[in-house]
Amino acid sequence: MKKALITGITGQDGSYLAELLLEKGYEVHGIKRRASSFNTDRIDHIYQSPHEEQARFKLHYGDLTDTSNLTRIINAVQPDEVYNLGAQSHVAVSFESPEYTADVDAIGTLRLLEAIRFLGLEKKTRFYQASTSELFGLVQEIPQKETTPFYPRSPYAAAKMYAYWITVNYRESYGMYACNGILFNHESPRRGETFVTRKITRGVANIAQGLEECLYLGNMDALRDWGHAKDYVRMQWMMLQQEQAEDFVIATGKQITVREFVKMSASEAGLEVEFSGEGVDEIATVTQVLDSEKAPSVNPGDVIVRVDPRYFRPAEVETLLGDPTKAKEKLGWECEISVEEMCAEMVAADLENARKHALLKLHGHTVSVAVE
Ligand code: NDP
Ligand code: GDR
């Protein structure tokens, strides 16, 4: 039975990847951080009690900032595959905590690679690094592919650039099977609530159900190539099953603006909206309620989106568009879920949550809708 170790197993991608590897018959180990409250929501449905003899799903307390902890876990597990998905993954937050972001995202990757080498596992353990389209930052070429030059625009991207190159370096220096997936944005109902797509789908669902009045966003002109996390974790696994380790861009090859994603989400929540105004004065107004069952609390004329400059970033990545030709030709990977289908799935899940919260509120319970 193959053994995999996933850092970041409690995150969006970690949870989908763990499901996939369990289906494929792996023994799956994950590193979770100690927190003062439970932080395993996304993996509770696949949790197996350590008291079960046949358990194939095992969690270890750990942190990417802790070298001895990582070395001990890798030594105990002796993994065939390590997927390094753990990271301080929020670009805007990386401007607030640049040093921590570098420690986790850059040096954390080095710690894992060094632990594999130190333990003499460099010929056994295959290594996947969660690299990112943020490396392209101020884009030098459209669309972006494996050979496009990098120009990071945030402490997050700069840290991920170190992680990218140290992964390449361990492959070239020590013959390790180590590779980078340069993944463009990918989302799902499990996406963290403060990334823009989820903030939007959750926001419009809450507004439709009367839990919030208005959603505040930053740069609505930003263009992103958005895919579904399920399609992307399949590719993470495929990348570790090749004869030779190589780096791949994973993307849909299509891009839309944040504004277009708002329109799409609003429509899924039963609302037609129209944008007016410019810059910080831009607003989205409801022109028609398309489905009053989904959106009983909204009326034509309601302003449901405004701009708040606090969500602008010190340096912005305005446009990202990936070219996944290499992944298609060499691995036969195809993106199966469109941005429209993904948006519909996310809004449906958030509407269900909002309905439950609305019911709780009706019965006097406190409901938190906070999002930053
Ligand atoms: P999430 O933010 O959902 O998950 C991040 C995971 O890392 C969580 O499990 C988190 O734990 C864990 N983590 C954070 N800090 C540490 C630390 N110090 N030590 C150990 N674990 C830590 O990210 P995604 O699942 O969306 O992304 C997975 C990876 O892919 C990340 O590295 C991200 O940077 C990268 N990436 C993501 C893309 C995307 O669009 N989703 C695109 C390209 C790259 P906890 O749950 O306790 O917070
Ligand atoms: P990104 O994702 O920075 O691309 O990083 P995010 O969803 O945070 O932002 C996408 C774009 O939307 C604009 N935006 C806002 N963003 C947030 N979070 N909140 C807002 O209110 C808002 N308004 C507009 C942003 O300025 C940006 O242009 C994600 C992360 O998953 C990274 O870990 C990953 O590496 C990259 O995708 C690829």
What CATH number corresponds to the domain at position 200? Answer: 3.90.25.10
Catalytic amino acids?
Answer: 132, 134, 156
**Measuring from each residue's beta carbon to the nearest atom of ligand 1, which residues come in under 6 Å?**
7-8, 10-14, 31, 33, 35, 39, 63-65, 85-89, 104, 130, 132, 183, 185-186, 192
Q: Does the pLDDT at position 197 exceed 90?
A: yes
| Ligand 1 atom with least separation from CA of 8 | 9
Q: Classify residue 276: in a domain, yes or no.
A: yes
Please state whether beta strands 27-32 and 3-7 pair in parallel, antiparallel, or not at all (unpaired): parallel
pTM > 0.95: yes or no: yes
Instruction: Indicate if ligand 2 lies below 6 Å from the C-beta of 311.
Output: yes
Q: Does the pLDDT at position 235 exceed 90?
A: yes
Residue ending a domain, among 151, 183, 215, is 183
Same domain, 40 and 97: yes
Q: Does the pLDDT at position 369 exceed 80?
A: no
Ligand 1 pocket mutation pick from 85, 162, 339 by most atoms within 8 angstroms of CB: 85
Same domain, 211 and 101: no
Q: Classify residue 248: in a domain, yes or no.
A: no
Q: Classify residue 371: in a domain, yes or no.
A: no
Residues with Cβ within 8 Å of 94's Cβ and at least 6 positions away in sequence, in order, are: 88, 101, 154, 155, 156, 157, 159
Host domain of residue 284: 196-223+257-316+337-362
Q: Does the pLDDT at position 371 exceed 80?
A: no
Ligand 2 pocket mutation pick from 185, 221, 321, 372 by most atoms within 8 angstroms of CB: 185
Mean pLDDT (the chain) is 97
Q: Does the pLDDT at position 176 exceed 90?
A: yes
Taking the C-alpha atoms of residue 172 and residue 191, their distance in angstroms, rounded to an integer, is 34
Confidence (pLDDT) at 98: 98
CA end-to-end span of the chain, whole Å? 43
Residue ending a domain, among 158, 183, 208, is 183
Place of tokens 């369990």: 22
Cβ neighbours around 349 below 10 Å, total: 17
Same domain, 154 and 284: no
Taking the C-alpha atoms of residue 343 and residue 189, their distance in angstroms, rounded to an integer, is 9
Q: Does the pLDDT at position 141 exceed 90?
A: yes
Name the band, by pLDDT with cuts 50, 70 and 90, for residue 53.
confident
Q: Does the pLDDT at position 245 exceed 90?
A: yes
Q: Copy the structure tokens of residue 257.
A: 């603006």
Same domain, 19 and 78: yes
Taking the C-alpha atoms of residue 317 and residue 239, their distance in angstroms, rounded to an integer, is 27
The number of residues making up the chain comes to 372
Distance 69 CA to ligand 2 centre (A): 31
CB 287 within 8 A of CB 300: yes
Taking the C-alpha atoms of residue 334 and residue 232, their distance in angstroms, rounded to an integer, is 10
Please state whether beta strands 215-217 and 57-61 pair in parallel, antiparallel, or not at all (unpaired): unpaired
Same domain, 346 and 210: yes
CB 217 within 8 A of CB 200: yes
Confidence (pLDDT) at 50: 86
Residue ending a domain, among 119, 152, 183, is 183
Distance 89 CA to ligand 1 centre (A): 5
Same domain, 33 and 169: yes
In the chain, the percentage of residues whose pLDDT exceeds 70 is 99
Instruction: Indicate if ligand 2 lies below 6 Å from the C-beta of 320.
Output: no
Distance 78 CA to ligand 2 centre (A): 36
List C-alpha distances in Å: 295 to 206, 217, 263, 370. 9, 21, 15, 20
Q: Copy the structure tokens of residue 10.
A: 């409690």
Q: Does the pLDDT at position 370 exceed 90?
A: no
Confidence (pLDDT) at 92: 98
Same domain, 99 and 128: yes
Q: Copy the structure tokens of residue 212.
A: 């919030």
Confidence (pLDDT) at 170: 98
Name the band, by pLDDT with cuts 50, 70 and 90, for residue 355.
very high
Q: Does the pLDDT at position 118 exceed 80?
A: yes
Confidence (pLDDT) at 330: 96
Q: Classify residue 243: in a domain, yes or no.
A: no
Q: Copy the structure tokens of residue 334.
A: 């195809």
Q: Classify residue 158: in a domain, yes or no.
A: yes
Q: Classify residue 251: in a domain, yes or no.
A: no
Name the band, by pLDDT with cuts 50, 70 and 90, for residue 56.
very high
Same domain, 145 and 207: no
Taking the C-alpha atoms of residue 56 and residue 50, their distance in angstroms, rounded to an integer, is 9
Taking the C-alpha atoms of residue 128 and residue 179, their distance in angstroms, rounded to an integer, is 5
Distance 15 CA to ligand 1 centre (A): 11
Total count of domains within the chain: 2
Identify the residue whose C-alpha is closest to ligand 2 atom 16.
196
Name the band, by pLDDT with cuts 50, 70 and 90, for residue 161.
very high
Same domain, 128 and 171: yes
Closest by CA position to 63, among listed 88, 45, 46, 43: 88
Q: Does the pLDDT at position 372 exceed 90?
A: no
Same domain, 207 and 179: no
pLDDT, mean of residues 95-120: 98
pLDDT, mean of residues 47-70: 94
CB-based burial label for 251 (10 Å; 0-12, 13-18, 19+): buried
Q: Does the pLDDT at position 326 exceed 80?
A: yes
Q: Classify residue 62: in a domain, yes or no.
A: yes
Same domain, 133 and 211: no
Taking the C-alpha atoms of residue 240 and residue 345, their distance in angstroms, rounded to an integer, is 29
Confidence (pLDDT) at 254: 98
Distance 265 CA to ligand 2 centre (A): 16
Q: Classify residue 324: in a domain, yes or no.
A: no
Q: What is the DSSP string of 124-183?
A: T-EEEEEEEGGGT-S-SSSSB-TTSPP---SHHHHHHHHHHHHHHHHHHHH---EEEEEE
Whether ipTM > 0.90 holds is yes
Instruction: Classify each residue of 46-67 as buried b or exposed e, where b means 16 or more C-beta atoms within 10 Å of its C-beta.
Output: beeeeeeeeebbebbebbbeeb
pLDDT, mean of residues 338-365: 96
Same domain, 93 and 211: no
